[in-house]
A and B are shown apart, each in its own frame.
Chain A
Amino acid sequence: MTLPIFVPGDDPGPDFVGLLDRLGVGAFESTAPFDAAQITHGTTVLAIRYSDGVLMAGDRRATSGHLISHRSIQKVFPADNYSGVAIAGAAGPAMEMVRLFQLQLEHYEKVEGSALTLDGKANQLSQMLRNHLPAAMQGLMVVPLFAGFDPRTGQGRLFQFDVTGGRYEERDYAAIGSGGLHASTVVKLRHHDGIGADEAIDVAIEALFQAADEDIATGGPDTVRGIYPVVALITVDGFEQLADDDVAARTGTLLDRLRGAS
């Protein structure tokens, strides 16, 4: 592994994916058709904007066809200090995309000496999805959510994407994956202007619970094994994932309420 030095015309600049191409490591290889049911899929993730920033959450289940392949997979990741990325779709390519995206943001920051803007980061993810389109057409679909704290507006912002790389900024919330429809209905009914962190966390946990109640590919809280959704808050102080104990306690409160209501 020698020092990568390029002549000015061939220099990839701060682009890590471009660097990988020049070093002969294609980031996304196109594949032959195969049975998509054999591939591990991750499912429901959501993002909610609240008063101090933005929240991201995801269930923990991964499925292969009708089987549960993992019970405690992670689908919500920090992208850098002030943004996060959550994924739904084929788990393998999605994890690789997250890893490349994290590296790309850090690589840019180090080479250029300053971080990308939030829009710049969202655009990068868009381009990665577009590069991935041939694989997506063969069944390896990846759909991320991207959210972060924008220091220029002092607010949280969130972006949805489609498999072609289309980028759509949402105002208040978004949910994707097989249980995304049910989750977003719960968030839609309970979201309001100026919603605080505390309430947003409870809404996210209930939304994932209701999604798991309707959708077989979304995992509900697993009190036997102690597996709970991943919930992360992104504010002016950075990306912070909630402790499992906190999510477990809030899930307990939710279950008590539902028992009382039934």
Chain B
Amino acid sequence: MYVSPEQMMKDKADYARKGIARGRAAVGCTYADGVLLCAENPSNTLRKVSEIYDRIGFVGVGRYNEFDQLRISGVRHADFKGYSFSREDVNARSLANQYAQALGHNFTHEMKPLEVEMLVAEMSEEDGGDQLFHLLYDGTVMDTTSFVVIGGEADAIRERIEGTWSREADLGSALGSSVNALAGPDRQLAGDDLEVAVLARQNGRRAFRRIEGDDLDGLLA
């Protein structure tokens, strides 16, 4: 039976979008000290937010096995690049391009598209230089310096965070606006429902820190 290329791409895209929309969302935004990564994730062991390199963080939503494989390949890419050249030569732009290539190749050549949406964030040593790369299932890549929402109900969450986000916000208020945007008007999210990490300028070489337990509850209170 003949299926037009347009129809085939549309079917694949619908399939991927449906898979991604089923999962819970995540938000990444810049704030005064760097980048805040915040995901709605009731699991304490299966991570959505992770460290890639000294100043690079990763958030993935959708099918866990698929974005986790991409996360690990990102760690390998970064560590190998830093080993071959210098640690300063590793950057998020190059990694985001590699991810876009892999996702785009998979989308056009494989039967099943990857049901993932990802965020690659890089903290800059200078204020205001932080970058966020937003990657879609088909290899589309977008960059911004403000905030990125990935996963289910992203449009509604984006609208909510748009009104409250500010580049000069401290950690507490950046977290507050991210969590309120994720929760929406009818829900409350507690520390146990969240996975939070920062890439912060005061953290030294490895800027990635998870914020968990009492520290997280304190910031949410």
Contact = CB atoms under 8 A, between A and B. Distances in A.
Interface stretch (A38-46, A102-110, A148-156): A102-110
Nearest to A114: B45
Interface residues of A, number: 18
A3 B74 contact: yes
A107 B84 CA distance: 15
A19 B47 contact: no
Interface in B60-85: 69-70, 72-77, 79-84
Given A4-B80, A19-B80, A110 B73 contact: no
A99 B82 CA distance: 11
A103 B98 CA distance: 22
Contact of B77 (A3, A16, A25, A100): A3
Interface in B91-110: 94, 98-99, 101-102
Nearest to A109: B51
Contacts of B83: 16, 20, 99-100, 103
Interface of B is mostly: helix
Contacts of A107: 75-76, 79
Contacts of A16: 79, 83
B52 interface: yes
Interface of A: 1-5, 16, 19-20, 23, 25, 99-100, 103, 106-107, 110-111, 113
16 contacts: A1-B81, A2-B101, A3-B73, A3-B74, A3-B98, A3-B102, A4-B73, A5-B69, A16-B83, A23-B80, A103-B79, A103-B82, A103-B83, A106-B79, A111-B76, A113-B50
Given A1-B81, A100-B83, 16 more contacts: A2-B98, A2-B101, A3-B70, A3-B73, A3-B76, A3-B99, A4-B77, A5-B102, A20-B80, A25-B84, A103-B82, A107-B75, A110-B51, A110-B52, A111-B72, A111-B75
